[in-house]
Amino acid sequence: MKPLFFNEDKGLRNGWWALIYLALLAGCLAGFQLLLVPGLKRLGLRSGDWVVGLLFGLSLLAAWICTRLRKESLASTGWRLDGRWAREFAWGTLLGIGVMVLAAGLLWSVGGVTWELDPARSFRALSRGFVVFALVACWEENLFRGFVFQRLLDGVGAWPAQVILALFFGLAHWGNPGMHGATKLWATLDIALAAVFVGLGYLRTRSLALPIGIHLGWNWTQGTVLGFGVSGTTAPHGWVRPVFQGRPEWMSGGAFGLEASVFGVIAVLVGIALLWCWKGRGAAPIGAVPEPWHPESA
């Protein structure tokens, strides 16, 4: 039975570590729901954007416990916050913005959309949207490209890990509003490809900075700046709002957002191609098993 649980170095296998992380996260979420939510409701606090921040915090807590058990640092999961991390985050944000502007530009070029100024536009709305989507990006990337993804990388290699997490990332959005018919097909394809896109960002840098930046730039531009839906949810008021010109939903994305559009698929494929051509900096070759992190390598 030992080979089922332990590898040749007598360490617990990566699959079990991934399950431990998910069990810890589920326990943290259940504890919060049972113990803290009733008290918060009695205080008159309603669920809102702060919930995403809490989810991110709990996912970090679960990762911290697992890395401590492995005698590693939380920084080993992609949170080595330094100047390089900040630069990669900034470049990732610009890349995410660029990919979404490309998708919107393609839709506009075929006469599928125009824009009008949002009456509720304000710099405060733009800033609030940026913060909200930054929290969303941190939560989802820590969950899907953090500890679990990295254990899969060690256990099965880069591309099997990419495929597994892309499937889960796509399935995680199936319950979102607007998932129906052709929209469901294009949205699932685009979201799965987006998971490969940001996963490739991790593989090129061995950091969560670039994936978080891409995710943030993508969502913020799509929702707060351009006024589209974001994975079926209504974005905070931004600067403009789209006026659709009667094109089918597989072109416009409909209420779900540009992620359910054929142009969203094209744009994310361009992003994947850009990262594929970029050799990265300080990253192991794609397909190689990464070396374990050690404090002296920081």
- How far CA 256 is from CA of 82, 262, 283, in Å, comes to 36, 13, 35
Mean pLDDT, residues 285-293 taken together: 43
Q: How confident is the model at residue 294 (pLDDT cuts 50, 70, 90)?
A: very low
Q: Is the pLDDT at 220 greater than 80, yes or no?
A: yes
Residues for the chain: how many in total? 298
- DSSP H helices, 145-288, are 147-156, 158-172, 181-205, 209-220, 249-252, 262-277
pLDDT at 119: 86
Handedness of CA 43, 49, 52, 53 (dihedral sign): negative
pLDDT at 18: 94
Q: Is the pLDDT at 290 greater than 60, yes or no?
A: no
pLDDT at 179: 75
What is the DSSP-derived secondary structure letter of residue 259? Answer: G
Q: Is the pLDDT at 21 greater than 60, yes or no?
A: yes
The tokens of 150 are what?
């990295």
Q: Is the pLDDT at 207 greater than 70, yes or no?
A: yes
* Nearest Cα residue to 192 out of 273, 268, 102: 268
pLDDT at 221: 95
d(Cα 298, Cα 290) in Å, to the nearest integer? 15
SS3 state of residue 198? helix
d(Cα 227, Cα 247) in Å, to the nearest integer? 17
d(Cα 277, Cα 166) in Å, to the nearest integer? 21
pLDDT digits (tens, 9 = 90+) for 241-273: 899 988 888 898 888 889 999 999 999 999 999
Place of tokens 């100047």: 83
pLDDT at 279: 78
The fraction of the chain above a pLDDT of 70, given in percent, is 87
Long-range (24+ apart) CB contacts under 8 A made by 68-71 are 69/20, 70/17
Pair 152, 166: CB distance under 8 Å: no
pLDDT at 43: 61
Angle at 222 between CA 181 and CA 129, to 5 degrees: 125
pLDDT at 4: 75
Mean pLDDT, residues 135-159 taken together: 94
Mean confidence (pLDDT) of the chain: 86
Between 45-54, 198-207, 222-231, 282-291, the lowest mean confidence (pLDDT) is in 282-291
* Nearest Cα residue to 228 out of 196, 264, 193: 264
pLDDT at 49: 59
Pair 235, 129: CB distance under 8 Å: yes
pLDDT at 233: 80
pLDDT at 118: 87
User: Which H or E run contains 122?
Assistant: none
pLDDT digits (tens, 9 = 90+) for 54-104: 889 999 999 999 999 999 999 999 999 999 999 999 999 999 999 999 999
Q: How far is Cα of residue 291 from the mean position of the Cα atoms in its chain?
A: 24
pLDDT at 293: 39
Mean pLDDT, residues 208-233 taken together: 93
- CB count in 10 Å sphere of residue 44: 6
**Dihedral in degrees, nearest 10, Cα atoms 107, 135, 166, 198:** 70
pLDDT at 174: 78
Pair 223, 249: CB distance under 8 Å: no
pLDDT at 231: 87
